[in-house]
Every structure is written in structure tokens, then in C-alpha cells.
Amino acid sequence: MRSLLAIAAVLLVGCAAPCTQYCNANADYIEFCLVNGSQNDWVAASDAGGWSVWGYSSKEEYEAGCAADFDAQTAGDAGAVIESECTDAASQVEQWNARSLCAELP
């Protein structure tokens, strides 16, 4: 069942712009790891207030702020390069999410 949910999530997010897709996948990753991460960095982030470590108060605020930041960056001359990097980064984070792996703090 979990595999089906992961596939559905990837399909739903797959239609988003590359950097928005990255922001959403990263938010899912952070949300999961704040609760389940056992490495010292994740425990410290959770103890320090969770989303506030990234300068936000919630997952939704993080997603919106992240997307707005990338929208501003991709509007410039390097937009295609940045979007390509977002595609690669989103793929990595989606793999971590599918494996329920809390690797490192973003």
C-alpha cells in the first residue's frame, strides 16, 4: 500500500515545475525526518523547533517559500540550469522518500 501511495505522490508532483517538485519532495522529506530521523542532526533539528530550523513555521510555509525563491532564481539567465539542478535534486529526495531514508539535513 505504501508503494502505491509513493507512486501516486510522484505522479501528482511529476506535473509540477522542476523546482516546485523539488520543494514539495523536500518538504515531505523534512516532515518525515523531523519525526522519524534518528541521526543527531535530525534529532537536534526536531528539538530546535522543526521547521524553524529552515526559517519557516510549517510544511506549507516551507513549500511556498522554497517555490518563491526558485521562481525568482529561474527567472534569470541561468533558469534552465537551475531547473535542471532541481530535477536532479528532486529525483534524489524522492528516492530518499520512497525508502524512508533520513540521510542529511537539506
Q: How far apart are CA 106 and CA 93, in angstroms?
A: 10
Q: What is the pLDDT of residues 16-75, one digit of tens each?
A: 689 999 999 999 999 999 999 999 999 999 999 999 999 999 999 999 999 999 988 888
**What does pTM read for this prediction?**
0.80
pLDDT at 89: 93
Q: Which residues lie below 8 Å from residue 7, measured CB to CB, with a gap of 6+?
A: none
Q: How far apart are CA 81 and CA 103, in angstroms?
A: 25
Q: What is the pLDDT of residues 72-92, one digit of tens each?
A: 888 878 778 889 999 999 999
Lowest average pLDDT, out of 7-11, 29-33, 83-87, 99-103, goes to 7-11
pLDDT at 39: 92
**CB 41 within 8 Å of CB 104:** yes
DSSP 36: H
Query: 7 pLDDT exceeds 50?
Result: no
